[in-house]
Amino acid sequence: MMDILIKNAIIVTVNKEREVIFDGALVVKDNKIADIGNSKEIESKYTDVKKIIDAKGKVLFPGFINTHNHLFQTLLKGLGDDMVLKDWLETMTFPAANYLEPKDTYDAAMLGCIEGLRSGITTMVDYMYPHSKPGLCDGIIDAYKELGIRGILGRGCMNTGAQFGVHPGIMQDVETVEKDVRRLFEKHHNTENGRIKIGVAPAAIWSNSQEMLEMLWRVVKEYDDALFTVHISETPFDREAAKELHGQYDIDVLEKLGILGPNVLMVHCVYLTEKDMELTKNTI
């Protein structure tokens, strides 16, 4: 017996041939797609089904992936819309993050993920960089597990950047960050049948020391399926602040430290130069 049969849908398969099946159907057993094809053929083949969904007039496709999100900021929506990024971080995000509790990150993640699910997002990559108190990442992971969404939690960090407006209350030293990163990997990575994964997410090149970046990369390389994600060149300020702290622009810092490869997810990348784009080819 099959669990679910969805029929009469336009199915966007996203297979290698990018096939689209008009008047398509699929069947689900034990939460996995068991078969897919023409509605008439699938219906005649599977007559013993617990639930049938008529999707006439609807499009069926794999869930979207949100590759970059700060779920805690769901609580800050609408605040600071008239500010440039640097001012918004200094006066809104960093101060607010200093008061976060695990219950806050759980509530924010529940709200943000539900919004995503209603828009067809089934995989969420969260970038949780401020840590004023222990357990903030766990609140987000608890929401992932409760909702059934596929979630990657990027454990972020900042250990410098006061000169650029980073609130001291959300900075952590390298030893503290490494201890918690390893705890999260040991407790949550590949749990829920592989649905939950842990990664690392330094907030920015200009808010993390070389020692911190090297430690995070070292930990990530211990796992075959762990992600290293980082903000890169979101604004001209990002580039200049990275150069002031490290003596190089942000992507150049990554190249120097060997932090390039298929498990590196660079986000924003608004102000990349031609040279930067050549370097980013190594992340594919």
Is the CB of residue 26 less than 8 Å from the CB of residue 35? yes
Is 232 found in the same domain as 181? yes
Is 159 found in the same domain as 32? no
Q: What is the 3-state secondary structure (H, E, C) of 105-168?
A: HHHHHHHHHHHHHHCCEEEEEEEECCCCCCCHHHHHHHHHHHHCCEEEEEEEECCCCHHHCCCH
pLDDT at 279: 87
CB atoms within 10 A of CB 12: 15
Distance, in Å, from the CA atom of 37 to the CA atom of 246, rounded to the nearest integer, reads 55
Question: What is the tally of structural domains in the chain?
Answer: 2
**What CATH number corresponds to the domain at position 45?**
2.30.40.10
Show pLDDT as tens, one digit a residue, over the chain (284 residues).
899 999 999 999 999 999 999 999 999 999 899 999 999 999 999 999 999 999 999 999 999 999 999 999 999 998 888 899 889 988 989 899 999 999 999 999 999 999 999 999 999 999 999 998 999 999 999 999 999 999 999 999 999 999 998 989 999 999 999 999 999 999 999 999 999 999 999 999 999 999 999 999 999 999 989 999 999 999 999 999 999 999 999 999 999 999 999 999 999 999 999 999 998 886 76
Is 201 found in the same domain as 172? yes
**What CATH number corresponds to the domain at position 203?**
3.20.20.140
Is 71 found in the same domain as 210? yes
Is 109 found in the same domain as 229? yes
pLDDT at 43: 96
Question: pTM of whole model > 0.85?
Answer: yes
- For residue 43, the one-letter residue type is E
Domain range enclosing 21: 2-60
Contacts 24+ apart (CB under 8 A), 112-118: 112/69, 112/71, 112/74, 113/71, 113/143, 113/144, 113/147, 113/149, 113/151, 114/147, 115/74, 116/66, 116/69, 116/149, 117/147, 117/149
pLDDT at 110: 99
- Eight-state DSSP code of residue 63: P
Is 252 found in the same domain as 201? yes
pLDDT at 282: 66
pLDDT at 198: 99
Of 32, 60, 88, the position where a domain reaches its end is 60
Is 8 found in the same domain as 84? no
Distance, in Å, from the CA atom of 36 to the CA atom of 39, rounded to the nearest integer, reads 9
Of 60, 84, 99, the position where a domain reaches its end is 60
Is 212 found in the same domain as 73? yes
Is 230 found in the same domain as 95? yes
